[in-house]
């Protein structure tokens, strides 16, 4: 009998409070991460505020209220939720608070399919009455962190003793009659933990910064001069998330929207880490599904990382509202394919279900051409009005393509971005290969490049890839499960971006739309 069937039989008759190691070399799949070899199995449970057992029923929701953003956390907060887990052989209480910061009040999810004529078919608002993304800590453990989504089981990460643990439900497992839901806790994965899984962004960060300074001088006629005291100012990275056709196909049998928000919840937590040295909020303003990717003009997505990045960055400019007060205007676009305190705010989610019909958009295995195509395409879809609540600052592409560089010779790439591309028109974008929950690390890393960060190696930023405790910094060139925080070099890069007025577009707080989906035509709010 296979190990999966044995596990299923055990769970049906035994109440599991602690994880147990599986000695078999047979890898198992999680709901989102595949072929996990180093894992433990557990049945999490919900606790009351005292830490006493409450229920095996894990899902928990809150009403999204942007006015509660940045409110000081207290242990008496009635909106908290608590879970029991065993890590490193010890029982722990995970205390979680609602993450109100990273979702725009006017976030829209958009399906890019020419056959969908009615606005009600193409656009939808998130259900603000049923949000399930939390951040928090392990009770009594200094330096611990947690970013967990509680929509249908637990999914996300926990940091304890400078080690990162990912947790997600076991693939195809559903809660039994008692509500017990089998989960996997894992720290390494053969797909992304090998040194072949790396970022494809160029090592020549100095060239990218010089270009930004030169462009600033040509635009304003003034030399860039650093200023002090900018780290206390609050910044908002308004994000467009674009999902290509391969990503959509791979996740078609799952709750794709919750998976995307689970990833962005983790990204948001990374940017809130004190090691960043600045106050920044990640705000998702728009999510787009490229259901007819092949029909997108000027957008090419394939395994060539650099061309994909260039394409994506140009494309996201076109789709961004021109009015920066538009609630769907984005600062940063992210492409998903299979001390700075920052808030990532999601303002727009786009599904490219007809990706092949997107004019000027080509997504394939060529990373460089895909990036170039995506960057060009995102310009066209960004609302012209920067006051539009769905205007984005940064565009992010999520893809399931195995993106490659060097004419297909290097296919270990996990992402690609333009260094210091924040607040530019056609380089404020990144492409990211989806490999499960570690996608949260990849997206955080690539947005870090957009914010001006170089790789943490002695030969690039002059900072090592690892800290003294042997954990990895976020901007290490390889994807590691033990990634925990920003290096002093990354902190310096991001601070320099702000002090030299190269990140001014991130100063505006996300707008709240005056429009209603029921009484406004799509063209009123969004550019076609």
Number of Cβ atoms within 10 Å of the Cβ of 179? 14
Q: How many angstroms separate the first and last alpha carbons of the chain? A: 55
Q: Is 393 helix (H, G, I), strand (E, B) or coil?
A: strand
Helices (H), strands (E): how many in the chain? 10, 29
Catalytic residue among 295, 296, 433, 446: 446
Closest to 377 in 3D by CA, of 442, 503, 290: 290
Neighbours of 161 (CB within 10 A): 13
The single residue listed with the structure tokens 């609540």 is 389
CA distance 513 to 391: 11
CA dist 496 → 230, 270, 342, 425, 486 (Å): 9, 19, 15, 20, 15
Asked if 357 is an active-site residue, the reply is no
The span from the CA of 456 to the CA of 460, in Å, is 7
d(CA 525, CA 528): 10
Gap between the Cα atoms of 332 and 392, Å rounded: 6
Rounded-to-integer distance, Cα 214 and Cα 211, Å: 5
Q: Is 445 annotated as belonging to a binding site?
A: yes
The answer on whether 449 is annotated among ligand-binding residues is yes
Cα–Cα distance measured from residue 87 to residue 462, given in angstroms and rounded to the nearest whole number:
34
| 253 CB-near residues (< 8 Å, 6+ apart) | none
- Residue 215: beta bridge partners? none
* Per-residue CA distances from 402 to 75, 78, 244, 247, 304 (Å): 44, 44, 13, 11, 9
Q: Would you say 239 and 305 are in contact if contact means Cβ atoms under 8 Å apart? A: no
| Phi and psi torsions of 205, nearest 5° | -70, -30
User: Which residues fall in the annotated binding site?
Assistant: 445, 449, 455
Give me the active site residues, please.
446
User: Which residues fall in the annotated binding site for Zn(2+)?
Assistant: 445, 449, 455
């Amino acid at each position: 009998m296979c190990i999966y069937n044995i596990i299923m039989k055990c769970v049906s008759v035994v109440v599991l409070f602690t994880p147990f190691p599986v000695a078999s070399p047979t890898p198992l799949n999680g709901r989102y991460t595949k072929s996990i070899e180093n894992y433990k199995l557990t049945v999490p449970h919900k606790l009351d505020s005292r830490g006493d057992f409450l229920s095996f029923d894990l899902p928990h929701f809150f009403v999204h209220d942007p006015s509660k953003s940045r409110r000081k956390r207290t242990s008496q907060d009635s909106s908290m939720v608590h879970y029991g887990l065993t890590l490193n052989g010890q029982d722990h209480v995970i205390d979680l608070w609602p993450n109100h910061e990273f979702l725009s009040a006017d976030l829209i999810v958009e399906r890019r399919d020419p056959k969908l004529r009615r606005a009600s078919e193409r656009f939808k608002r998130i259900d603000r009455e049923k949000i399930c993304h939390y951040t928090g800590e392990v009770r009594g453990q200094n330096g611990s962190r947690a970013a967990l989504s509680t929509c249908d089981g637990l999914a996300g990460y926990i940091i304890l003793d400078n080690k990162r643990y990912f947790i997600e439900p076991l693939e195809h497992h559903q809660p039994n009659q008692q509500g017990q839901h089998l989960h996997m806790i894992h720290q390494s994965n053969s797909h992304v933990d090998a040194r072949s899984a790396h970022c494809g962004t160029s090592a020549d960060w100095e060239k990218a910064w010089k270009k930004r300074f030169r462009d600033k001088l040509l635009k304003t006629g003034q030399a860039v001069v650093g200023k002090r005291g900018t780290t206390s100012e609050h910044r908002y990275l308004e994000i467009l998330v674009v999902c290509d056709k391969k990503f959509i196909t791979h996740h078609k049998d799952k709750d794709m929207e919750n998976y995307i928000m689970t990833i962005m919840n983790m990204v948001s937590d990374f940017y809130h880490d004190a090691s960043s040295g600045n106050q920044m909020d990640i705000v998702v303003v728009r999510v787009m599904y490229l259901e007819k990717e092949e029909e997108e003009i000027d957008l090419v997505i394939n395994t060539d990382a650099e061309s994909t990045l260039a394409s994506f960055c140009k494309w996201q400019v076109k789709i961004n509202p021109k009015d920066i007060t538009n609630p769907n205007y984005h600062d940063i676009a992210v492409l998903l394919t299979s001390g700075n305190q920052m808030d990532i705010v999601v303002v727009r989610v786009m599904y490219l279900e007809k990706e092949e019909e997107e004019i000027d958009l080509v997504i394939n295995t060529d990373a460089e051409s895909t990036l170039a195509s995506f960057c060009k395409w995102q310009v066209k879809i960004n609302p012209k009005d920067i006051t539009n609540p769905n205007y984005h600052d940064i565009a992010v592409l999520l893809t399931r393509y195995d993106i490659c560089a060097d004419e297909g010779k290097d296919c270990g790439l996990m992402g690609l971005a333009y260094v210091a591309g924040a607040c530019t028109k056609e380089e404020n974008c990144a492409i990211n290969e989806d490999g499960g929950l570690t996608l949260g690390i990849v997206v955080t890393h690539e947005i870090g490049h957009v914010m001006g960060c170089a790789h943490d190696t002695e030969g690039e930023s002059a900072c090592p890839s690892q800290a003294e405790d042997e954990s990895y910094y976020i901007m290490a060139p390889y994807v590691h499960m033990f990634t925990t925080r920003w290096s002093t070099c990354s902190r310096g890069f991001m601070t320099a971006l702000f002090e030299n007025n190269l990140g001014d577009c991130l100063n505006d707080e996300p707008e709240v739309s005056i429009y209603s989906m029921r009484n406004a035509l799509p063209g009123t709010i969004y550019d076609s």
